[in-house]
Chains A and B, each alone.
Chain A
Amino acid sequence: MHSKSENDSQNLPPSLFVDLDKTLLEQEILVELARSIGRHEAMGRQTGRAMRGEESFLENFSRRIRLLEDISVETAVQVVKGLRFRNELLGVMRCWPGPVAIVTSNLDCWVSPLLLGLGFPFYCSTAETNGVGQPIGVRTLLHKRGIVEAASGPTIFVGDGANDAEAIAASDLGVGFWPDRQVVSSVLMAVQYIFTSEERLCMFLRQRSSLTPPDGGVD
C-alpha cells in the first residue's frame, strides 16, 4: 500500500532516499568490520537473518554489535573508509533534481566517517558507547519509514532488506535492489520494481528523473 498519492505535489521532483549497506555500498559494513577480526562468517549468517526479516531487527542488530566488541575505534574507521560505493548509483544521486538522502539503520560511529565527506544528508541509528568510544549497543534505532513520511512531495526509496520494507511501502515509488539475487519476501510485497543490476536500476532512476546518462547519450 503506497500511502502517498502520485498526484501529491506532482510538479516537485521526487525526494530520493537510498539505503546504505549493499545498496549504495557494495558491501555490508558490519560484515567487513567482522572480517577484520575473523568473525565475518558468523556475522554474515546473522546479517542474512536480519535482511530476510527472520527475527527482530533490534535484537539481531544488538547481537551483531556485540560480535564487534574487540574492534578499536581506529580500526573501525580504517575499515569503513576502505569500503566501496556503487559509483553509478552515486552519480545518479549527485545529479538528482530533487532532495537526496542516505537512510541507514547502521550506527553513527561507523557511518559518519564514511558519509560525512560525501555531501548528502544522512539518517542513521545512534550508538551507546563505552568509555573509549566503542559501540556496545543501540541508543536509538532509526525508523526509516518515518523519514519517508516526513518528506514533502513525492518520494522514491531504494533498499534491499526487510528493514527497508516499511519505508519502501510508504514511498510513492518503492524500489528494491538485489545485487546478490537474494529474495526478501517483505521487500517483494512492498515494491513496485526490483532490480538485480545496478546499471538497470540507474537507467530506471534516470528515466524517472529525466536525467541524461553520464555519457550524454540516450539510454
Chain B
Amino acid sequence: MHVSSATLVINAAGRGSRLGYVLNKSLLVLDGMTLIERQLRSIPLEVPIIVGVGYQAERVAEAAMKVRPDLTFSYNPDFERTGTARTLALSAGAASGRIVSLDGDLLVGSQDLNFFLQAQENLLGITLPTGREPVYCSYSVSDDDVFVHGFTRTHSEGAVEWSGLANLDAADLATLPNEGHVYEMLAALLPVRAMKIDCTEIDFPEDVELAIEWLRKLKG
C-alpha cells in the first residue's frame, strides 16, 4: 500500500540570538552550504515543504527558492515576541494530514528524516544530550518502544534530549497553545512514542564546529 508522505515544515522564523550572529540561522553557511539549503536538499522532491519565516524573511525565502521550485511559506509577523510554536502553528494552517516539524537549526540524518516523513502516528525525535541548555525528556520503555511523558530542564541519570523533530497531526496543532517553544506546545499530546535520531543542532557558537564534524562523519 502506498503511504503518502507528510508535509515537512521547517521552522525558520527566529532570530537565533544565542548563536551571536546577525544572520538568521538558516542562512549560516556550514561546510560550503547554508543550513536551509542543506535541509531542503536532503528532502525527497515529492515531499511538500512549508518554510515558516519571520526574521530576515526575504533573505531566507530567496535562499530557499533557489533550491526548491515548489515551496510554500508561512510568515510569522510576531517572530520577535513569539517562539517556534507560533511559527509551527501558522505553517500547519497551510497543511492537512500529517506534518513533520523540523527546527531550522537542526540537521537530521536522511534515513531518520525519511522514517519520520512516512510515519502515520505522532512521533518525537530524541537524542543523547550534547549541547548547552538541553531540554530533557522523561520517558518509559515498553516492548522496545520509547514513550515520552514530559519535558524538563533538569538532568537525571539516563536522560535523553528533545531534538526538535516531530511527526504530528496538523489538525491537533490548531488547538494547542502556541506562545512558547514547540516542546511546550506538545506537552498536551503526551505520552508520545519517540525514536532516537542521528542529528546535530546549532544553538551556540561551539555547536558550529560540532555540526561541521557531524557533516564530515556523514560523508565518511
Chain A residues with a Cβ closer than 8 Å to the other chain, count: 19
Q: Would you call A196 an interface residue if the criterion is a C-beta within 8 Å of the partner chain's C-beta atoms?
A: yes
A185 to B56, CA, bound (A): 10
Contact, CB under 8 Å: A183 / B72: no
Contact, CB under 8 Å: B61 / A183: yes
Given A200-B48, A204-B94, A207-B96, verify A193-B72 contact (CB < 8 Å).
yes
Contact, CB under 8 Å: B48 / A188: no
Contact, CB under 8 Å: B96 / A194: no
B46 to chain A minimum Cβ distance, whole angstroms, is: 12
Contact, CB under 8 Å: A188 / B58: yes
Stretch of B62-70, B113-121, B181-189 at the chain-chain interface: B62-70
Please name all residues of chain A whose beta carbon is closer than 8 Å to the beta carbon of B58 when the two chains form the complex: 183, 185, 188
Cβ proximity bits A41-78 to B, threshold 8 Å, 1 near / 0 not: 00000000000000000000000000000000000000
How many chain B residues sit at the interface, stated as a range, is: 10 to 19
Give me the interface of A with B, judged by CB distance under 8 Å.
176, 178, 181, 183, 185, 188-189, 191-197, 199-200, 204, 207, 219
Stretch of B17-25, B28-36, B73-81, B204-212 at the chain-chain interface: B73-81
Question: Given A191, A195, A197, which contacts B75 in the complex, CB threshold below 8 Å?
Answer: A191
Contact, CB under 8 Å: A188 / B75: yes
Among residues of B, the one whose C-beta sits closest to the C-beta of A204 is B94
Given A200-B70, A204-B94, verify A189-B65 contact (CB < 8 Å).
no
A181 to B51, CA, bound (A): 14
A49 to B199, CA, bound (A): 43
A55 to B103, CA, bound (A): 37
Contact, CB under 8 Å: A192 / B72: no
In the A-B complex, the 8 residue pairs with the closest CB atoms: A181-B65, A197-B70, A194-B73, A193-B94, A183-B62, A185-B58, A195-B72, A183-B61
